[in-house]
Amino acid sequence: MKKISEHIKISISGFLAIAAWTSFLTSSCKTEIYRSKNQVKKIYVSEFKLVYVESVLKKSFNNSISIQEILNEDKSGFTEPILTLEDHKFIDSLTTTECRNLQIDSANSIGRTAEGSEGKHVLSFIIEKIESRDLQHLAKKRYKIAKGHGNFAYW
């Protein structure tokens, strides 16, 4: 009877060890999936902002050869396409509107601002846009839309 009791204790402790290990592995997998999804979101948001900035630069400086050379030399961004076609269209439309507004502001500043500060303020505009976190919020909204349409193979 004593051997059976000890055998049951060993079996129970073995079962508990297996259960604990299984629980650990399951929670570890969930953590990895969460990290993976979180990484995809960070990459998406970063890529959205990068494509936005590149688009503003190209349009603001009339896609000049100098801007093209700078952007061609820069290796920022994710190597695989992560933004959807709709995202690219959205960014194109948004930056077209914003660059028109920059041109209007530039034209309106002639004769109204200090000498030497007339004209385009593209870099200031980009910095203000990033610091205001508007672009971050917009990118997160677009991420939710893309994710909702199942555009990521990572799920």
The CA-atom distances, in angstroms, between 5 and each of 2, 16, 19, 96, 104 are 5, 16, 21, 79, 87
Specify burial of residue 72 (Cβ count, 10 A radius: 0-12, 13-18, 19+). Answer: exposed
Helices 65-73 and 2-60: crossing angle in degrees, nearest 10, is 160
Question: Per-residue confidence at 153, pLDDT binned at 50, 70, 90?
Answer: low
In terms of pLDDT, which residue wins out, 151 or 129?
129
Closest CA to 130 of 53, 77, 38, 70: 53
The CA-atom distances, in angstroms, between 89 and each of 55, 78, 96 are 11, 18, 10
Closest CA to 94 of 62, 127, 132, 142: 142
* Digit-coded pLDDT (tens) for 18-49: 545 455 445 444 445 555 778 888 999 999 99
Supply 28's token pair: 């570890």
In terms of pLDDT, which residue wins out, 149 or 100?
100
Q: d(Cα 78, Cα 137) in Å, to the nearest integer?
A: 20
- Whole-model pTM? 0.69
pLDDT greater than 90 at residue 17:
no
* Digit-coded pLDDT (tens) for 50-100: 999 999 999 988 899 999 999 999 988 877 888 989 999 999 999 999 888
Residue type, 134: D
* Digit-coded pLDDT (tens) for 113-147: 555 555 677 888 888 888 989 999 999 999 999 88
